[in-house]
């Protein structure tokens, strides 16, 4: 009788595969955030709408390759005009979220951006209450108090606070929450449900179409400016290509980690990701931080963890 138990080769390789997925998820999530910050703030590439359009173009192409050619997941068809209209509505909110988030990175350090982004559960609860009349247990709402209070404290102690950047970051966080609630409402029937990979396959090209006129109007001659930059420093092209590919891998690894672990595991990893991103960004960009700011962020993270626990127990 074997005494190897769980340490048989298939089990070990399975664990290594899962660890590799988690490491890839962390790397892509934090990598795209830090590279966005570097491009939009430090490098001086001040075109967040065009950058978002590059992300969506990569997501369109790579989603098609992954689903149609590599068959990572079966392709799901859009079955009606109504379902397509719902996907367009989600794409619009998705665009607003990503563009606002990228704009905020021009003005705010990653550490503060992550602190504000951690308030997503608050906005999710508010939108769910307004749009679905969904009531949570009272303890769930109580846990949202430290989530909001922490950001208020962090805002007061943020040496690099910028009002417009803060408004954009709040807008991005609210839009992200609105998309998750809308997705639950609009694509709730069995015939209309799409997994995250197929939803991205349809949303990303629509996002490109929505972002193209915005880019042309608000960031005029951005392609010419980018090509001029490339003649001086070819690295900008490689930065944009790598950054856009990373934006797709964020979604791919998000899906794969959920598939091979659970949604709860992803939630726990997400709570830790913010803290890791804060530490890494401070080490790289050396932005000033205060005890008050870090105290506020810590309170917010504790609030998010308590909120997740309250939701889990009241299911």
Per-residue pLDDT tens digits for 218-230: 999 999 999 999 9
State the pLDDT at residue 246: 96
Residue 11 lies in a domain: no
| 142 found inside a domain | yes
State the residue range of the domain holding 105: 32-314
Give the pLDDT band (50/70/90) at residue 10.
Answer: low
7 pLDDT exceeds 80? no
Contact 147, 304 (CB under 8 A): yes
CA gap 43, 56 in Å, rounded: 21
Q: ∠ at Cα 278 (238, 208), nearest 5°?
A: 40
Joined tokens for residue 173: 């966080």
- 78: CB partners within 8 A, 6+ apart: 84, 87, 202
Is 135:214 a contact under the CB 8 Å cutoff?
no
Residue 14 lies in a domain: no
Q: Is residue 276 part of a domain?
A: yes
Confidence of residue 148 (pLDDT cuts 50, 70, 90): very high
What confidence score (pLDDT) does residue 315 get?
66
Higher model confidence: residue 6 or residue 238? 238
Establish if 297 belongs to a structural domain.
Answer: yes
Contact present, 106 and 138 (Cβ < 8 Å): no
Segments in the chain forming alpha helices (H): 9-37, 48-64, 81-107, 110-117, 120-132, 138-156, 163-186, 196-218, 222-232, 235-260, 263-285, 291-313
Q: pLDDT, tens digit, for every residue of 284-297? A: 998 888 999 999 99
Average pLDDT rounded to a whole number, residues 55-64: 97
Residue 275 has pLDDT above 90, yes or no: no
Q: Is the model's pLDDT at 104 over the cut of 60?
A: yes
Six token digits for residue 51: 């950058």
Question: Mean pLDDT over all residues of the chain?
Answer: 90
Band (pLDDT 50/70/90 cuts) for residue 5 is very low
Quote the pLDDT of residue 267.
72
Confirm whether 15 is domain-assigned.
no
pLDDT in tens, 249-265: 999 998 988 888 776 67
- Residues 71-89 pLDDT 10s: 999 999 998 999 999 999 9
Q: Does 4 reside within a domain?
A: no
Q: What is the C-alpha separation between 265 and 18, in angstroms, rounded?
A: 12
**Structural domain contains residue 25:** no
CB 26 within 8 A of CB 276: yes
- Dihedrals phi, psi of 47, to nearest 5 degrees: -135, 75
Residue with the bigger pLDDT between 30 and 193: it is 30
Give the chain's domain count: 1
């Amino acid at each position: 009788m074997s005494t190897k138990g769980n340490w048989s080769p298939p089990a070990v390789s399975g664990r290594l595969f899962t660890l590799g997925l988690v490491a890839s998820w962390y790397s892509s999530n934090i990598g795209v955030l830090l590279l966005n910050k570097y491009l939009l703030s430090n490098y001086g590439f001040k075109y967040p709408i065009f950058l978002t359009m590059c992300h969506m173009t990569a997501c369109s192409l790579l989603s098609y390759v992954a689903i149609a050619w590599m068959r990572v997941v079966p392709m799901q068809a859009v079955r009606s005009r109504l379902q397509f209209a719902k996907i367009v509505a989600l794409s619009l909110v998705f665009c607003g979220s990503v563009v606002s988030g990228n704009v905020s990175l021009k003005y705010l350090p990653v550490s503060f951006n992550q602190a504000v982004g951690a308030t997503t559960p608050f906005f999710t609860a508010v939108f769910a209450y307004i749009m679905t009349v969904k009531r949570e247990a009272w303890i769930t709402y109580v846990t949202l108090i430290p989530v909001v209070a922490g950001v208020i404290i962090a805002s007061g102690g943020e040496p690099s606070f910028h009002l417009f950047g803060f408004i954009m970051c709040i807008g991005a966080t609210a839009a992200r929450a609105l998309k998750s609630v809308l997705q639950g409402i609009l694509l709730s029937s069995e015939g209309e449900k799409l997994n995250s990979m197929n939803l991205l396959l349809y949303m990303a090209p629509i996002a490109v179409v929505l972002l193209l006129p915005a880019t042309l109007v608000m960031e005029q001659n951005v392609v010419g400016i980018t090509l001029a930059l490339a003649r001086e420093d070819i690295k900008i092209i490689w930065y944009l290509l790598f950054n856009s590919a990373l934006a797709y891998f964020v979604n791919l690894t998000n899906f794969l980690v959920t598939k091979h672990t659970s949604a709860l595991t992803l939630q726990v990893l997400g709570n830790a990701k913010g803290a890791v991103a804060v530490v890494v960004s401070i080490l790289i960009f050396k932005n000033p931080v205060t005890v008050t700011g870090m105290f506020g962020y810590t309170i917010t993270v504790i609030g998010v963890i308590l909120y997740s626990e309250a939701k889990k127990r009241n299911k």
